[in-house]
Structure 1
Amino acid sequence: MRLIIIGTLNGQIGAATRIALQRGAKVAQVEDIDQALNTLRAGRGADLALIDVGLDVRRLVDSLKEERFNLPVVACGIGNDARAAVAAIRAGAKEYLPLPPEPDLIAAVLEAVAEDSHQMIFRDPAMGQVVRLAEQIAPSGASIMITGESGTGKEVMASYIHRKSPRAERPFVSVNCAAIPDTLLESELFGHEKGAFTGAVARRIGKFEEANGGTLLLDEISEMDIRLQAKLLRAIQERVIDRIGGAKPVKVDIRVIATSNRNLVEEVARGTFREDLLFRLNVVNLKLPPLRQRPDDIELLAVHFVKKYADANGVAERALSPATIDALRKAHWRGNVRELENTMHRAVLLALGPQIEVGDIRLPDGSALADAAGRPIAAAAMGEAGAMDAGTGGLVGRTVADVERDLIIDTLKHCLGNRTHAANILGISIRTLRNKLKQYTDEGLAVPAATEGSRATA
């Protein structure tokens, strides 16, 4: 856990730092927001920011978003000042921490951030086999390719490998290649010098340098433009990078883990992914099974998410009824663990009785889980040909373009407008999805609005 503390915290900085250090955090302290941004630009990354509520919290949050620094912000102030707390949350802070700092409270905040996306929860033998292989290869320095459907936990697995490796005490840095426009991704990875291009107002250390000594995760690498892949290949092979506008190469020592929800062999055949880069990255391949192929994990994960969101929302933790567990196990879970997590979050908020019943569980489109449970699995059991015959009856007489349009729009609705998630489920690139949606908009069709988290890719 890397923590950056911004401001004096009204003289409580020493106490907060000591508590964080005792809990195993690596702490950096700066006086103001400008110093914090310069620290991050210099490659000294952080996983959490604590900021004095007397500073401009909104400016920090907006600056982090503008410069693509992905870290949560917690505001701190003397006592339980409700007005200051509300203002900080409205400005974009995730939490408000009263001072003087309580050791248990700071520990809880740190643990919540550390736990957020790094827990490996499994019981099913199918997942256990993959985890054992991950543990076997973690001590090596080999590059790893993690594949699997969207939502199966590829980033969680990458973090798990890092924590089991000799680099565990060094940075783990993640870059979502699908969420960053091509024009910015090169700078994000390799950094730039001041004045290298319009808008480069200061030197910016890229993710390769930030991850030096540790692990760099290239999430959804199949979305990277093929022209940038050549520079990435050189960086991995030679262990040197060139900042944009830089005068000399910079040496780096990192382990690279990449993820993809696509078949990269097929992408190579299409000419959208370099074969030599695939060979370099795919020293070891870990294929994560979809949730429907690890049924013993469904109840375990559902119970975990119920507890997590009951605690987060301050509501009673309810048990899952036997009928609910049975329905959860029969559901198809196209979005895998991510979809299950969101579904259980809704159930926690909707449940009123002593248990979470089947009727409390709703899918993103508002339909009941019981209506959807088992149908895709039954179709799969018929065999590929049988499933095709059973599922195409309503398509005869329609054009391929019409079917494609309805599939894209329905999937986008299912993902609540999130372009990145929809593209992952559809198995197409975010660029292809954007082009299709522009075409539909030009044709006068209604397209679901982009969610806040997908505006960068909308």
Structure 2
Amino acid sequence: MRLLIIGRLNGELITASRIAMSRGAAVTQADGIEQGLNALRAKGADLVMVDVSLPVRVLVTALADERIRTPVVACGTGTDANAAVAAIRAGAKEYIPLPPDPELIAAVLEAVASDARSFVWGDPSMERVVKLAEQVARSDASVLITGESGTGKEVLARHVHARSNRANKPFVSVNCAAIPDALLESELFGHEKGAFTGAVARRIGRFEEASGGTLLLDEISEMDVRLQAKLLRALQERVIDRVGGTQPVKVDIRVLATSNRNLAEEARKGTFREDLLYRLNVVNLRLPPLRDRPADILALAEHFARKYAEANGLAARPLSAEARRLVTQSPWPGNVRELENTLHRAVLLASGPEIDADAIRSPEGDALSTGATGAGAAARAVQAAEAVTRGFVGRSLADVERDLILDTLDHCLGNRTHAAKILGISIRTLRNKLNEYTGAGITVAEPGQTRMLAAYG
């Protein structure tokens, strides 16, 4: 855990720094916002703690402008309520009152270190995957983690890092699907001052930030094939070139990558370099979908029920027998991510001593489907299909496509990667469609929302 404290180290801040170091954090200090930004550009950090007397909004805005995604918490004297509120409104994630409480600081550090992700499993189908992951964890071999969207690929990657010889070094994750192609090279390799418009200072990239530790390239299949060549050189030679730079920079990293696509098939189509696939795929860990891990479903459901009860200040409640039956029989097309969202919703909707089946509902409020089979279910499916087909008559193909894309995005609560997977299109194609709809004045669901929430929330 790398903690950057921005503010003069006197009195309470010295105590906070000592507490953080006693909990295993590597602490760096900067007196002001600009010095703090320079430290982040040069070394990176996992968490920023900023004195509330400094301009927190300036810091948060600068981080957003430079695409530095380090979370910020503010700290100040416990009696300064107005400053605390202003800091949260400015974009700070939390407020820590001073003098510092050791357990509170420990909880914040732990939340960031674990990134709120727990590795929960128990199904025999996961046994081979976990054993292989732990067997190769202490090596420096590249690992490719594959599986459907929402199966927990990043969670497994963090587990590999935690069991590796680099566990006490940085774990840096880059979502290749979430960053535009024009910016991804700078995000990965860094840039020199003036390399392009907006490059106000030299900034190290994720490769340098992860040096000594582990770099996760999440959804690597979405990376432009031209950038893949530069990535291949970095993996082979362990050197990178900053954008606008003239000297190569050595890096010491272990690379993990994830994909919800078949990269061998992508290589055959020419959208993914075959030589890069060989470099990444030294070991392949394939996560089975949740529907093939029945013993994991209940373990995860109970874990999420406890997690979100605690997060919302509610008493922990067990799942009723009917709720347990319902969650184990659901097909979970969205895998662990869908199960987590459903249990979060159930914790909030439940009213009795148990989480009953009535609280297990879809985002639209409908009863959860169990994927029932049999003659009755088949007849209902045929009727539903006929009704859908009749609804297409008289409509243009573009209108049908638009509604399908927007409804799928609603179903995924705005998750672009998940929606693209369900639709069978690339994340770029989906983004282009959404930009087209937004330009036409059509409401599009933002991440974590449906169109209704985006329009009225």
- Report the TM-score, using the length of structure 1 for normalisation: 0.90
Structure 1: which amino acid aligns with 2:21? L
CA distance 1:404–1:130, change in 2 (3 Å): farther
The equivalent of 1:426 in structure 2 is 423
1:415 aligns with 2:412: yes
Rounded to whole Å, the distance in 1 between the matches of 2:17 and 2:175 is: 31
Tell me the residue number matched to 2:110.
111
C-alpha deviation, 1:258, in angstroms: 0.6
In 1, Cα distance between equivalents of 2:166 and 2:367: 45
Partner of 1:16: 16
Tell me how large the CA RMSD over aligned residues is: 2.6
Residues 412/425 of structure 1: CA separation in 2 closer, same or farther (3 Å cut): same
Unpaired runs of at least 5, structure 1: none
**Aligned AA (1:120):** F
Q: CA deviation at 1:219?
A: 0.5
Q: How does 1:89-108 map to 2 (within 5 A)?
A: 89-108=88-107
Could you tell me how far apart the structure 1 residues matched to 2:442 and 2:356 are?
35
Equivalent residue, structure 2, for 1:450: 446
Secondary structure of 1:319 counterpart: coil
* Contact 2:167–2:213 (CA under 8 A) maintained in structure 1: yes
1:308-357: CA deviation from partner (whole Å, max 9, x where unpaired): 11111112221111111110111122221111112111112222111111
**Paired residue for 1:209?**
208
Which amino acid in 1 is paired with 2:167? A
Which one-letter code corresponds to 2:294 in the other structure?
Answer: P
2:436 and 2:131 mapped to 1: Cα distance? Answer: 46
Aligned-partner Cα distance in 2 for 1:241–1:103: 40
Distance 1:40 1:233 in 2: 26
Greater alpha carbon shift after TM alignment, 130-139 vs 70-79: 70-79
CA distance in 2, matches of 1:153, 1:356: 24
CA contact (8 A) 1:395 1:403 kept: no
Which range is displaced more, 173-182 or 403-412? 403-412
In 2 relative to 1, CA 409–30 (structure 1 residues): closer, same or farther, beyond 3 Å?
Answer: same
Amino acid at match of 2:65: E
Paired residues of 1:118 and 1:160 also in contact (CA < 8 A):
no
**1:267 corresponds to 2:266:** yes
* Preserved contact between residue 414 and residue 448 of structure 2 (Cα < 8 Å): no
Closer/same/farther in 2, CA of residues 387 and 160 from structure 1, 3 Å limit: farther
Look up the SS of the partner of 1:334 in the other structure.
Answer: coil
CA contact (8 A) 1:75 1:97 kept: yes
User: Partners in 1 of 2:256 and 2:295 — Cα distance?
Assistant: 27
Q: Partner of 1:360 in structure 2?
A: 359
C-alpha displacement of 1:388: 11
Matches within 5 A, 1:246-325: 246-325=245-324
Q: CA deviation at 1:10?
A: 5.9
Tell me how far apart the structure 1 counterparts of residues 136 and 380 of structure 2 sit (CA, whole Å): 38
Instruction: Judge conservation of contact 1:5–1:51 (CA < 8 Å) in 2.
Output: yes
The one-letter code of the counterpart of 2:51 is D
CA distance in structure 2 between the aligned counterparts of 1:413 and 1:421, rounded to whole angstroms: 11
After superposition, the C-alpha distances for 1:413-442 in whole angstroms (9 at most, x for unaligned) are 112333333223334222111233355567
Q: 2:4 touches 2:30 (CA, 8 Å); kept in 1?
A: yes
Q: State the match for 1:179 in structure 2.
A: 178
* Partners of 1:409 and 1:447 within 8 A in 2: no
Instruction: Pick closer, same or farther for the CA change 1:91–1:237 going to 2, 3 Å.
Output: same
CA contact (8 A) 1:5 1:27 kept: yes
What does the per-residue CA deviation read over 1:365-388, in whole Å, with 9 as the maximum and x for residues that have no partner? 22122xx1224xx49xx99xx999
- How far apart, in 2, do the equivalents of 1:279 and 1:238 lie? 15
Which 10-residue stretch deviates more, 96-105 or 114-123?
114-123
CA positional deviation for 1:39: 0.9
Q: Once the 2 structures are TM-superposed, how far is the Cα of residue 279 of structure 1 from its aligned partner?
A: 1.0
Q: How far did residue 128 of structure 1 move?
A: 2.3
Aligned to 2:218: 219
| Paired residue total | 444
Residue segments in structure 2 that go unaligned for 5+ positions in a row? 451-457
| SS class of match (1:205) | coil
User: Deviation digits for residues 112-168 of structure 1, max 9, x if unmatched?
Assistant: 222334421111111222111100111111111001111111111111111111111
Native 8 Å contact 1:145 1:257 kept in 2: yes
Check the 8 A contact 2:151/2:288 in 1, yes or no. Answer: yes
Contact kept, 8 Å, 1:9 with 1:77, in 2: the verdict is no
Q: Distance in 2 between matches of 1:83 and 1:10?
A: 22
**How many Å apart are 1:81 and its aligned residue?**
3.5
Closer, same or farther: CA 80–428 of 1 in aligned 2, 3 Å? farther
Match of 2:327 in 1: 328
Q: Matches of 1:101 and 1:440 in 2, distance apart?
A: 49
User: Match for 2:227: what amino acid?
Assistant: L
Q: Secondary structure at the match of 2:76?
A: strand
Counterpart code for 1:8: R
For residues 329 and 362 of structure 1, the distance between their equivalents in structure 2, rounded to whole angstroms, comes to 14
Are the aligned partners of 1:241 and 1:251 in contact in 2 as well (CA < 8 Å)?
Answer: yes
In 2: Cα distance, 1:49 partner to 1:360 partner? 38
TM-score of the aligned structures, taking structure 2 as reference length:
0.90
Structure 2 equivalent of residue 158 of structure 1: 157
3-state DSSP of counterpart to 1:257: strand
Q: Distance in 2 between matches of 1:82 and 1:171?
A: 34
Counterpart AA for 1:374? G
What is the deviation of 1:251? 1.4
Query: What is the CA deviation profile of residues 68-88 of structure 1, one whole-angstrom value per residue up to 9, with x for unaligned ones?
Result: 222222111112543332222
Counterpart position of 2:453: none
- 1:35 maps to 2:31: no
Q: Secondary structure at the match of 1:50?
A: strand
Query: Given residue 448 of structure 1, which amino acid in structure 2 is its aligned partner?
Result: V
SS of residue paired to 2:100:
coil
* Superposed displacement of residue 394, structure 1: 5.3
Q: Percent identity among equivalent residues? A: 66
